[in-house]
Chains A and B, each alone.
Chain A
Amino acid sequence: MSPLYVYALVAAAPPPEALGAGLAGEPIRVVPCEGVLAAVGEMEGPPELAAPALRAHDATVRRIAAATAALLPARFGSMARDDEELREALRPRATALRDALEMVRGCEQMTLRFAAAEGADPAVLAPRGALPEVAGPGTRYLASRRAEEEPRAIPEIARVLEAAAPLVRGQRLETHHRPPLLASAYHLVARGDLEPYRGRVAAAAAGEPRLRVLVSGPWPAYAFGPRELA
């Protein structure tokens, strides 16, 4: 048997016609393990890291996702020697993976990139949450460090996130220290709520002239695997 290339984890097996063929034209099948199923294809080795393969990986994951309610994409390049090695890798993580699959059920991922608008000084869009006035210097230092890692400490970003919040079922935030890029937000949004979500984000972003908000999606839930596996 050839090594296995892993496309995604799913909670229920999609119909065979939805699994279809993978990157190398190989048939995709599922490997079950304690309530989690891995969608895999047999390949000699990982695909080349290049744009066509990345697009093909994403297209395959999307096709499978469209046929099932709960899917977690595997990171590009994930390989296992055979079914048994894959099961061994999944088994100790099965509970966390089942929980993660439940969280993403019925949802798509939307991604927001927050950057300083053209002409805006990124330094102006700095975290400016209130620091405790009576705290000692150590406490104030720690609070300021926490603020640097919390995108919501930037009021412009916080207002956009608040506007989207009623339609957000799960959220991961990342701060970037690469001006003009400030932060990213990954949102789980129910499949039927994508257009209202876009509308809320667009309306909120229009009210923040110093902020540029780039919206992409819907994506498979790339950012919502269990943290300990990321």
Chain B
Amino acid sequence: MTDERARERLIEEADATLLELVDHVLNKGVVVTGDVMLSIAGVDLVYLRLSALLCAADLLFSSEPRR
């Protein structure tokens, strides 16, 4: 299966509601203090599906957790 087909299938299978929630709550919103602390543990649960439909994964994996 090509990457594109795999991604397309993931979109179909994904819990779109949860994916949208993750994108909006994690990736958007106002960083109030510049002191966002995210626990990376547990991201695996959503990462594969997330990367298929949304781009919040870029945020999580392109930077270290901010302290």
> A: which residues have CB within 8 A of B?
6, 9, 38, 45-46, 48-51, 54-55, 57-58, 72-80, 85-86, 89-90, 97, 100, 111, 113, 115, 118, 122, 174, 176, 178-181, 186, 214, 216, 219, 222-223, 225-226, 229-230
Question: Chain B's nearest CB lies how many Å from the CB of A10?
Answer: 12
Chain B nearest CB, measured from A162 CB (Å)? 24
Nearest residue in A to B53 (C-beta to C-beta)?
A: A181
What are the nearest 5 A-B pairs in CB distance?
Answer: A75-B29, A225-B30, A222-B28, A222-B24, A89-B33
Interfacial residues, chain B to chain A (CB-CB below 8 A): 4, 7-8, 11, 16-18, 20-22, 24-43, 45-46, 51-53, 55
Q: How far is the CA of A12 from the CA of B2 in the complex (A)?
A: 51
Contact A118 B8 (CB under 8 A): yes
- Asked if residues B20 and A76 are in contact (CB atoms below 8 Å), the reply is no
Choose from B18, B20, B38 the contact partner of A77 (Cβ within 8 Å).
Answer: B38
Q: CB distance B39 to A49 under 8 Å?
A: yes
User: Which B residue sits closest to A45, measured CB to CB?
Assistant: B37
Roughly how many angstroms separate A225 CA and B32 CA in the complex, as a whole number?
10
How far, in whole Å, are A186 and B16 apart by their CA atoms in the complex? 16
Contacts of B36 on A, CB cut-off 8 Å? 75, 77-79
CB <8 Å contact, B28 and A78: no
Q: A113-B53, A115-B11 are in contact. List 6 more A-B contacts (CB 8 A).
A: A49-B41, A51-B45, A55-B21, A78-B32, A85-B33, A222-B29
Select one of B33, B43, B53 contacting A49, CB under 8 A.
Answer: B43
B42 engages A50 (CB within 8 Å):
yes
Contact between chains at A216 and B29 (CB < 8 Å): no
B32 A9 Cβ-Cβ under 8 A: yes
The interface residues of chain A lying within 8 Å CB-to-CB of B46 are 51
Please name 12 pairs of A and B residues whose Cβ atoms are closer than 8 Å in the assembled complex, sorted by A: A6-B32, A46-B38, A46-B39, A54-B18, A54-B25, A74-B32, A75-B28, A75-B36, A76-B25, A86-B33, A181-B52, A222-B29
